[in-house]
Chains A and B, each alone.
Chain A
Amino acid sequence: MDWQALGVSLQLALFTCLLLMPVGLWLGRTLATRQFRGKALCEAAVALPLVMPPTVLGFYLMLSFGVDAPFGALWQRVTGSGLNFTFSGILLASLVVNLPFAVQPIQRAFEGVPNNVREAAWCCGLSPWQTFTRIELPLVWPGLVSALALTFAHTLGEFGVILMVGGSIDGETRTLAISIYDRVQAFDEAGAGIMSAILLAVSFVTIGVVYGLARRGRGLRV
């Protein structure tokens, strides 16, 4: 059993969720409530990782992370280290890959909040921020939880993109999913089986906890 890989996987999933939720809330709300030029393009860009083969996405990310590419070079200049084959690299890739899983459920949830409920809050004297925290957030809570669950579970299971960008470096970029693949390659089916079962259990428990939270979230008070 590769405990280190499990640690990398959980860390990756946790950081992805933490970093992506504020982005998902902002982007999901913007896409749901605002009309602007290029909105369709923006929505298409968010959804793109859903339809692209992971290896293709991983390939482009790998290219842009390289020190020869503008983004990779900038990263190198700012942080002093590269992105390919590092934890930071697979985290960034994970953020990109999971964007639709974080944004879309939140966007749908915000779309489900009637505009006049928002306006009623303003007419009650609630500031835009109070309207967001007291009215909108509790109402989109189930969508937010869905986004969390999907992002977490999807990050645990991500394989192609991580392999392309991060390879399989022990304790750095080798996630559980990649470790399972390595074991199968090495004809260690028993090891792969244990890790698969653990991944299954962790995913199931996480999603169970998260959906339990969604149910509890209803009925928040002012």
Chain B
Amino acid sequence: MSESHHPLTTQGLEVRLQQPGPIPLNADFCCAPGELLALVGPSGGGKTTLLRAIAGLYRPSGGHIRCAGETWFDAAGGICLPPQRRRIGLVFQDYALFPHLTAQANVMAAMNHVPRAERAPRAARWLAQVRLEGLEGRYPAALSGGQRQRVAVARALAREPRVLLLDEPFSAVDQVTRRRLQRELAQLREMIDIPILLVTHDLEEAAALADRLCVLHSGDTLQSGPAETLFRRPVSPLVARLLDKHNVFSGRAMRDDSGDVYLQWGPYRLDAALPASVESRAEVDWYIPPSDVVLHRRQRPSRGERENPVCGTVSEMVVLGGIAQITLTFAHTRDSLRFEIATHAARRNGLARGEEVSVSLLASGIHIM
């Protein structure tokens, strides 16, 4: 699905690229100044290719790229600026630092636009900004993974770019360093007012850092929006699968004679809001977030039991610390329902493989695709 409007085409980054092959692309997204847009999707989904196309390192066969009011690429107009003329800050996945240059000289290398005498002090300031005071004279080989990443970020920013491109910038460091660097990126954002594009396959990272996510698959931008929207309202089963969301089912949208709408799912009649565009008796895919599945207590009836109750068999129970992930299967479908509850609650309710349980599917959570 493409975005319906591009609100900030003059200031931000606007990307529209199409090509049939060799790497298929059908991308359409924009990123406003100060916004952090995460491109997520599986490996080989075209994320890095898109980033390279924006940087001018890859030339697609169709479309255009505009940034800060300049046209960087326009296939129809025959425009394709080289990377040197695009003012981009690119942090490579493995940082691509110049191994024969010190941290400071690495940063200075991106300062062609700065008078020669000012380069050294400015580079030192950039390094201080990413907390590398005192390490200006170190060569990349003598820096830790996290420090290298910071040098790469400082070098990208020293170019005073119109857009910051981050290609899996946290994938080459350990978990603890990753958390710290992610926090630093969030802080760094306060200072810079340019579009930031983050390529990642880590959904948690994308959700935590980005204002919006853009789901890519085979070069196709399937859906973009805030993480919460994407996670609760994926537009298609494919997007749900790419976002690691499991509870996708097929049912039938129904309108009865009195005008009531509901969703027929096997033997169950589920209350749900139907989009106006869906015709009665139409076959639909629907999704429910795990957070909107409520377990019925065994002994005591609880509130909400009247809301879309369904009955299933526990086919899997995986305990991950304090959280238990429950998978239910049903007699009428091969699709299974997953949800999470506190492990102690699972124990108290006597949940175990093969047990019959009933749950409520909250109507507000049911999303018809």
User: Does A51 interact with chain B (Cβ within 8 Å)?
Assistant: no
Tell whether, in the assembled complex, residue A222 and residue B101 are in contact, meaning their CB atoms are under 8 Å apart: yes
Tell whether, in the assembled complex, residue A126 and residue B109 are in contact, meaning their CB atoms are under 8 Å apart: yes
CB neighbours (8 Å) of B55 from chain A are 119, 123
Within the complex, which residue of A114, A116, A124, A219 is in contact with B109, where a contact is CB–CB below 8 Å?
Answer: A124
User: Does A220 interact with chain B (Cβ within 8 Å)?
Assistant: yes
User: Does A90 interact with chain B (Cβ within 8 Å)?
Assistant: no
Within the complex, which residue of A114, A116, A117, A126 is in contact with B112, where a contact is CB–CB below 8 Å?
Answer: A126
The contact string, 1 if C-beta is below 8 Å from chain A, for chain B 120-156, is 0000000000000000000100000000000000011
Cα distance A124–B82 when bound, in Å? 12
Closest to A138 in B: B100
CB neighbours (8 Å) of A121 from chain B are 98, 109
User: Does A135 interact with chain B (Cβ within 8 Å)?
Assistant: yes
Tell whether, in the assembled complex, residue A120 and residue B96 are in contact, meaning their CB atoms are under 8 Å apart: yes
Known A120-B92, A219-B100, A220-B100: A125·B105 in contact at CB below 8 Å: no
Tell whether, in the assembled complex, residue A117 and residue B105 are in contact, meaning their CB atoms are under 8 Å apart: no
User: Does A218 interact with chain B (Cβ within 8 Å)?
Assistant: yes
Within the complex, which residue of A114, A123, A134, A138 is in contact with B88, where a contact is CB–CB below 8 Å?
Answer: A123
**B88 CB → nearest A CB, Å:** 6
User: Does A81 interact with chain B (Cβ within 8 Å)?
Assistant: no
User: Does B64 interact with chain A (Cβ within 8 Å)?
Assistant: no
Cα distance A119–B109 when bound, in Å? 13
User: Does B83 interact with chain A (Cβ within 8 Å)?
Assistant: yes
Main SS class of interface, B: loop
User: Does B319 interact with chain A (Cβ within 8 Å)?
Assistant: no
The contact string, 1 if C-beta is below 8 Å from chain B, for chain A 97-110, is 00000000000000
Tell whether, in the assembled complex, residue A117 and residue B57 are in contact, meaning their CB atoms are under 8 Å apart: no
Cα distance A126–B84 when bound, in Å? 6
Tell whether, in the assembled complex, residue B96 and residue A122 are in contact, meaning their CB atoms are under 8 Å apart: no
Within the complex, which residue of B92, B110, B155 is in contact with A116, where a contact is CB–CB below 8 Å?
Answer: B92
**B155 CB → nearest A CB, Å:** 7
CB neighbours (8 Å) of B109 from chain A are 121, 124, 126, 134-135, 222
Interface residues on chain B, number (Cβ under 8 Å): 29
Interface residues on chain A, number (Cβ under 8 Å): 22
Closest to A115 in B: B96
Cα distance A188–B163 when bound, in Å? 76
Tell whether, in the assembled complex, residue A218 and residue B88 are in contact, meaning their CB atoms are under 8 Å apart: no
**B72 CB → nearest A CB, Å:** 13
**A166 CB → nearest B CB, Å:** 41
Closest to B119 in A: A222
User: Does A139 interact with chain B (Cβ within 8 Å)?
Assistant: yes
Query: A185-199: which residues lie under 8 A (CB-CB) from chain B?
Result: none
CB neighbours (8 Å) of A220 from chain B are 100
User: Does A30 interact with chain B (Cβ within 8 Å)?
Assistant: no
Tell whether, in the assembled complex, residue B100 and residue A122 are in contact, meaning their CB atoms are under 8 Å apart: no
Within the complex, which residue of A123, A218, A221 is in contact with B105, where a contact is CB–CB below 8 Å?
Answer: A221
The contact string, 1 if C-beta is below 8 Å from chain B, for chain A 125-165, is 11100100011001100000000000000000000000000
Tell whether, in the assembled complex, residue B90 and residue A120 are in contact, meaning their CB atoms are under 8 Å apart: yes
Cα distance A139–B102 when bound, in Å? 14
Closest to A122 in B: B83
User: Does B347 interact with chain A (Cβ within 8 Å)?
Assistant: no
**B170 CB → nearest A CB, Å:** 17
Tell whether, in the assembled complex, residue A122 and residue B108 are in contact, meaning their CB atoms are under 8 Å apart: no
Closest to B87 in A: A125
**B115 CB → nearest A CB, Å:** 14
**B307 CB → nearest A CB, Å:** 54
Tell whether, in the assembled complex, residue B98 and residue A135 are in contact, meaning their CB atoms are under 8 Å apart: yes
Q: Which residues of B does A touch, CB under 8 Å?
A: 55-57, 82-84, 87-90, 92, 94, 96-102, 105, 108-110, 112-113, 139, 155-156, 159
- Additional A-B contacts beyond A121-B109, A122-B82, A125-B84 (7; CB < 8 A): A120-B92, A122-B84, A123-B90, A124-B155, A124-B159, A125-B110, A135-B100
Pairs of residues from A and B, 9 with the lowest C-beta to C-beta distance, nearest first: A124-B110, A120-B96, A122-B83, A116-B96, A125-B112, A123-B90, A138-B100, A222-B105, A123-B83
